[in-house]
Amino acid sequence: LSVSIARGWPKFPQDVTRPNMLHAKFLRSPYAHARVKSMDLAAAQKLPGVVGIYRWDDPDFKAFQGSYNSLLDDEADHWNIEVGAVVVAETPEACDDALAAIKVDWEVLPFYLDPRDSMKPDAVVLMPKQYPQSNLQPAAQSYHGVLLRTQGDIDAGFKQADQIIEWDMTEQAATAFHPNPSAGIAWMEDDELGTGKQVMIEHGGATNGANPLASNAFTRAWGWTGDQFRYPNFWQGGKYCDFATRRVQTMAPILAKKLGRPVRMIQSRQDQFDCNAQNVRFYHIKVGVKNDGTITAVSEYVVSEGGTRGAATLGQSGDIKYDPFYTTKCLNIRSECVVSMTNTAS
């Protein structure tokens, strides 16, 4: 693997090109939370090199509406998220010119960047259709907390302590580093048996090769069978997956089928950085210790930002057990975590 990369042999998704290939880019939100009130595409559609501009309400996009996330929507739940429209053009530069020429009238909506604010009783519910009760992660809504780990007798442990120390700390957000940008490239071609069309999807980042979100959505929306999809997955370094990646993998083949030409979509560094951040956590920690340094009890309460997807446990409640005391030999530990939605990527 290392030798192959050093010699430049691997082909990554952004290296793939096809004859007569088009380029596509999403319109992105300049606000942390906003809804498209109206959109004027007239000037953008007249620019040289622009092949098409398609809104969120396009029937081909609506067919991919899922129970949780839309392929494209008219409401942005965090800054820089894909929203409202996608531009297809002969060059990436023509896409940029068209995006700049789209006139959008935005309705700016309430937003939260700190989970401690979004979990307050009077906080505006960010996703009322999916989670009408509160901004807390669904697993936490019933009792305002997720008791992730408890062992021993926490009260007895603190009684054994000679000293009790309490403090607050913040674990700042971090982002994954991807040495190459994510991309989705798709084209239609006759299948090997001559029975009809198949879609070829080059991508990187989704686990287990083929993108299950895309394949299931295509089967449902197009009525195609699984063998009509080909995923000749190319290399993708330092990458797991995220919804931003899956969006380009799903949109590229839809546009390729719509226009009858190959379509390539590549995420920018900024797009990837924003959507791969590990979220901020706020800790209140109480530790009991003996004078010889033995830790007798640990109690921690953690508030983590959950973004507006709200249901993901990766990097949040599902991973909070790997806290600062995960490897301690203390016998008495109580760890409680609340995950509250914010207008940040997740």
Local confidence pLDDT in tens for the 346 residues of the chain:
567 777 877 777 677 788 999 999 999 999 999 999 999 999 999 999 999 999 999 998 888 765 456 789 999 988 999 999 999 999 999 999 999 999 999 999 999 999 999 999 999 999 887 778 888 876 544 444 455 778 899 999 999 999 999 999 998 766 666 666 777 888 887 766 555 566 666 654 444 344 444 556 677 777 776 666 666 555 555 555 555 567 787 888 889 989 999 999 988 877 776 665 667 889 999 999 999 999 999 999 988 887 776 544 555 556 666 677 777 788 999 988 888 888 987 6
pTM: 0.83
pLDDT at res. 97: 98
Query: Of 253, 254, 255, whose CA–CA distance to 202 is shortest?
Result: 253
Distance CA(26)–CA(88), nearest Å, equals 9
Instruction: Provide the pLDDT for residue 46.
Output: 97
Those residues whose C-beta lies under 8 Å from the C-beta of residue 12, and which sit 6 or more positions away, are 180, 183, 204, 234, 235, 236, 237
DSSP state of 242: -
For residue 340, count CB atoms less than 10 angstroms from its CB and return exposed for 0-12, middle for 13-18, buried for 19 or more: buried
Distance CA 68, CA 66 (A): 5
Task: Quote the pLDDT of residue 67.
Answer: 46
Q: How far apart are CA 285 and CA 300, in angstroms?
A: 4
**Helix%, strand%, coil% for the chain, nearest 5:** 20, 30, 45
Where do we find the tokens 């009790």?
164
Please check whether residue 235 is in contact with residue 10, taking contact to mean a CB–CB distance below 8 angstroms: yes
Phi, psi of 271 (to 5 degrees): -60, -40
